[in-house]
Chain A
Amino acid sequence: MIEVELPPGRFRPPELTRDSLRHLLRRTWASVALPFISILLALVVGAIVIVLSQLIVPGRRVDLTLPLAAYAALFQGALGSFDGLVRTLVASTPLVFGGLSVGLAFRAGLFNIGAQGQFLLGALAAVWVGVMLRDASPFIALPAALAAGMLAGAAWGFIPGFLKAVSGAHEVVTTIMLNYTAVSVIAWAVSEPLDQPGSASPITATVENAGLPILIGRTGHAGILLAIVAVVVVWWLLFKTTRGFEIRTVGANPDAARYAGMRPRFITVLTMAMAGALAGLAGAVVLLGVTRYMTASFGTTVGFDSIAVALLGRSHPVGIVFAALLFGAMRSGAPLMQIQAGIPAELVDVLQAMILLFLVANAVIRRVLKLRGVEAGLGTTETITRTYGAEAVR
């Protein structure tokens, strides 16, 4: 990149006058209006689903106030108590990592549906190393287990990146295949090399000293702090480094990037590996901080939640934090909703899909609601499908 010397004193930070404040407010509104409206509309659709779904259950009276009871319980479960708040933070932590993973890939014009598989492999590597080092000093065991998870995720992300760069195999298909493969790898690893002798069903030992320490409440583990660090690192990488500039340029226009002397293939492989590392960390953090052992059916919804988080957060690290908190709150509040209002926790998946639907259909929403000066819902993702039928990246 060319460094341009700027004359000193010409670029003073603007003073905060009433006009500039209004401008700032307008810009903030422009970028949060659509996500906000999408969430509201999704809640409305969710309420309709709750009411209508009672119709198909034989012998059930339709209760029109049920949506209110459901949302109240959801809210109370997520934010109504100190324990609930901590659970929300814990549930949001892997979503921050996963959202960063998918969002980083979006910035490079790649769709990392593989966060799911990278998460699983990261968790597997973390439990493997964690069990091996369970009696070692925590200062060795914990970093080693985290690093193992990160590397395993990176490897699982490298494969689709490499295949795309070499042969043009689209990452959407290869990562979905690798997601299923990861399930089989875990089923094998937990029932063969890692199985604890003497247990009825395949299960690993606990990670003991390699576990993340609990810092707040009963469940608030140190992974929450790691997530904050990850947000800062990814923000810095994307917006303050040459590499980040290259990633964003390749995402915006691979051809222009190549003419400017960048290497889109290399960036593709690197970004997928970094995205994999972030998703792998998500898996490692959940395993070392929450479950602390693994069964053969270890599963998660983090991979697909992460896609929603990245889209709602517009692939920006700060937006991703807020989106992850929202979906984390929904996940942690859902059990209470199920108990108190009798609404299955999967309503959260429906809400999530509806939020994405309204974000994707933003052009229609803007026209119907006559929103002017509001930014599109998904700023950075237009390149994904464009590369689907195209030749290999050059």
Chain B
Amino acid sequence: MEALIELLYSIPVLGLVFQFGGYVVGIVPAIAPSMLRAATPIAFAALCGVLCERSGVVNIGIEGIMLIAAFTGWYVGVLVVPLLGTSSLGVFGINAAMIVALAAALVVGMLISLLHAWLSITVRADQIISGTIINIAAFGVTSYLLNLIAATSPRGAGVFTQLELPQAVTDLPLVGWVFSMFVNQGPITFSLLFIVLVFQVLLFRSRWGLRTRAVGEHPRAAETVGIDVIWVRYRNVVIAGALAALGGAYLTMEGINSFQFGMTAGRGFIASSQALGRSIGFSPPSGQLGDLLALLPGQLFDALPYLVTIVVLAGVIGRSIPPAADGQPYEREATT
């Protein structure tokens, strides 16, 4: 077996592919739990985007919603923790202040989303500009407030902690890492796993999902069978705001217990995920593959998620076709 692997690795060029495969297989068990954690805020943002676009509303203000929710979750915790104390309620290291903070983050996220819904559905403003405004405002307001309170050296309410399975389970050969990936997590990541499953079923197997998709594809047809297009869109965009807010709250309530300027955006976010990568300490590949990767600048890996997005969007891996009425405000026909 060892000899066969050595042989495969030594094939010129193609061997590098095998080396990469071997490296990934070797490293995944160690980094799988962190991978899921790093993916949590992104997945929530994506769920928010899917729900909005399926209902026919373009939402590029997701980033802003997340940023404000992250700030709210953190700072409401700071404000209420002197009143409620930090006594844990048992599981996940939850205390009363954290519950209040998370609720506040969700409410604020939904309110911002309601603003976007109002602008794009009722005012029929350009939805991309509306999203851009939310992003600019979110960055401005959170940075403004953070500067204002920086002198008071705020202390957060703490973070949700992860479940810990007994070592005997996570050390099981072959399947142990799957347990540690899906069970050694905090409550927000758990809620993600749950929401993804429920959302998939609801969107494609329920009356609500059918209506949502109808409103996104052909609102006029939906209206003629009695679906209230405006109401469905409002409701879905606001629910989507709660999803994005969960992703934002993850950053300050399950990730690190502080808020940083524009922490959802490119640099801060990549930086924190890199720090995560270093803290669990996986080693870079060795051998020929390692030599090759060492030649590439580290910044290339920072840019990789964005480059991959462009490549995917350019249709290299199949076209993604948005709902037909995506981004188009709906106007009821005048009743005579």
A57 touching B126 in the complex, CB below 8 Å, given contacts A173-B309, A389-B323:
no
Query: How distant is A195 from chain B, measured CB to nearest CB, in Å?
Result: 12
Which of chain A's residues 163-183 have a Cβ closer than 8 Å to chain B?
163, 166-170, 172-174, 176-181, 183
Interface of B, secondary structure class, is: helix
Q: Report the nearest B residue to A352, measured CB to CB.
A: B136
- A-B contacts, 27 listed (Cβ < 8 Å): A56-B149, A163-B313, A166-B314, A167-B319, A168-B319, A172-B128, A176-B60, A177-B313, A178-B306, A180-B303, A184-B303, A185-B303, A188-B300, A311-B129, A344-B144, A349-B139, A357-B133, A360-B123, A361-B119, A386-B328, A388-B127, A388-B326, A388-B327, A389-B323, A389-B324, A389-B326, A389-B328
A138→B75 CA distance, assembly (Å)? 52
Interface size class of A (residues with CB under 8 A): 35 or more
A385 touching B297 in the complex, CB below 8 Å, given contacts A57-B152, A111-B128, A350-B141:
no
Q: Does the CB pair A56–B79 fall under 8 Å?
A: yes
Q: Is A125 an interface residue (CB 8 A)?
A: no
A364 touching B299 in the complex, CB below 8 Å, given contacts A307-B132, A352-B140:
no
Q: Is B145 an interface residue (CB 8 A)?
A: yes
Which of chain A's residues 132-186 have a Cβ closer than 8 Å to chain B?
159, 163, 166-170, 172-174, 176-181, 183-185
Query: How distant is A156 from chain B, measured CB to nearest CB, in Å?
Result: 12
A92→B94 CA distance, assembly (Å)? 49
| A80-88, A251-259, A316-324, A376-384 - the one binding chain B | A376-384
A151→B333 CA distance, assembly (Å)? 49
A350 touching B140 in the complex, CB below 8 Å, given contacts A174-B313, A177-B310:
yes
Q: Is B185 an interface residue (CB 8 A)?
A: no
CB contacts (< 8 Å) of A360 on chain B: these are 119, 123, 125-126, 129-130, 133
Query: How distant is B179 from chain A, measured CB to nearest CB, in Å?
Result: 35
Q: Does the CB pair A346–B306 fall under 8 Å?
A: no
Q: Is A304 an interface residue (CB 8 A)?
A: yes
CB contacts (< 8 Å) of A44 on chain B: these are none
Q: Does the CB pair A385–B126 fall under 8 Å?
A: yes
A353→B127 CA distance, assembly (Å)? 15
A148→B123 CA distance, assembly (Å)? 43
Query: How distant is A328 from chain B, measured CB to nearest CB, in Å?
Result: 17
A167→B124 CA distance, assembly (Å)? 28
Q: Is A17 an interface residue (CB 8 A)?
A: no
Q: Does the CB pair B327–A389 fall under 8 Å?
A: yes
Q: Contact mask B286-323 → A, CB, 8 Å, 1/0?
A: 00000000000111101100110110011100010011
Q: Report the nearest B residue to A170, measured CB to CB.
A: B313
Q: Is A187 an interface residue (CB 8 A)?
A: yes
Q: Which of B75, B148, B307, B325 is A177 in contact with, Cβ under 8 Å?
A: B307
Q: Does the CB pair B129–A356 fall under 8 Å?
A: yes
Q: Is B58 an interface residue (CB 8 A)?
A: yes
A353→B131 CA distance, assembly (Å)? 11
Q: Is A59 an interface residue (CB 8 A)?
A: yes
Q: Does the CB pair B143–A177 fall under 8 Å?
A: no
Q: Does the CB pair A188–B297 fall under 8 Å?
A: yes
Q: Which of B75, B267, B299 is most buried by chain A, counting CB atoms within 10 A of its CB?
A: B299
Q: Contact mask B125-167 → A, CB, 8 Å, 1/0?
A: 1111110111111011101110111001000000000000000
Q: Contact mask A32-55 → B, CB, 8 Å, 1/0?
A: 000000000000000001000100
Number of interface residues of B (CB under 8 A): 53
Q: Does the CB pair B79–A58 fall under 8 Å?
A: yes
CB contacts (< 8 Å) of A172 on chain B: these are 60, 128
Q: Which residues of B contact A (CB under 8 A)?
A: 53, 58, 60, 75, 79, 119, 123-130, 132-137, 139-141, 143-145, 147-149, 152, 266-267, 297-300, 302-303, 306-307, 309-310, 313-315, 319, 322-328
CB contacts (< 8 Å) of A159 on chain B: these are 310
Q: Does the CB pair B129–A378 fall under 8 Å?
A: yes
Query: How distant is B272 from chain A, measured CB to nearest CB, in Å?
Result: 15
Query: How distant is B120 from chain A, measured CB to nearest CB, in Å?
Result: 8
Q: Is A192 an interface residue (CB 8 A)?
A: yes
A163→B53 CA distance, assembly (Å)? 22
Query: How distant is A358 from chain B, measured CB to nearest CB, in Å?
Result: 10
List of 5 A-B pairs having minimum Cβ-Cβ separation, nearest first? A349-B140, A389-B326, A353-B137, A344-B147, A184-B303
Q: Does the CB pair B145–A385 fall under 8 Å?
A: no
Q: Does the CB pair A178–B75 fall under 8 Å?
A: no
Q: Does the CB pair A167–B315 fall under 8 Å?
A: yes
Query: How distant is A48 from chain B, measured CB to nearest CB, in Å?
Result: 12
Given A56-B148, A346-B141, list of 14 further CB < 8 A pairs? Answer: A56-B75, A163-B313, A169-B315, A173-B313, A174-B310, A181-B303, A188-B299, A349-B141, A349-B143, A350-B140, A350-B141, A363-B125, A385-B328, A389-B325
CB contacts (< 8 Å) of B315 on chain A: these are 167-169
Q: Does the CB pair B136–A349 fall under 8 Å?
A: yes
Q: Does the CB pair A169–B310 fall under 8 Å?
A: yes
Q: Contact mask A327-349 → B, CB, 8 Å, 1/0?
A: 00000000000000000111111
Which of chain A's residues 181-208 have a Cβ closer than 8 Å to chain B?
181, 183-185, 187-188, 191-192
A191→B297 CA distance, assembly (Å)? 10
Q: Is A354 an interface residue (CB 8 A)?
A: yes
Query: How distant is B55 from chain A, measured CB to nearest CB, in Å?
Result: 12
A353→B304 CA distance, assembly (Å)? 30
Q: Does the CB pair A57–B149 fall under 8 Å?
A: yes
Q: Is A308 an interface residue (CB 8 A)?
A: yes
Q: Does the CB pair B126–A384 fall under 8 Å?
A: yes
Query: How distant is B82 from chain A, measured CB to nearest CB, in Å?
Result: 8
Q: Report the nearest A residue to B266, measured CB to CB.
A: A180
Q: Which of B75, B126, B136 is A378 in contact with, Cβ under 8 Å?
A: B126
Query: How distant is A202 from chain B, measured CB to nearest CB, in Å?
Result: 11
Q: Which of A169, A185, A361, A388 is B58 in contact with, Cβ under 8 Å?
A: A388
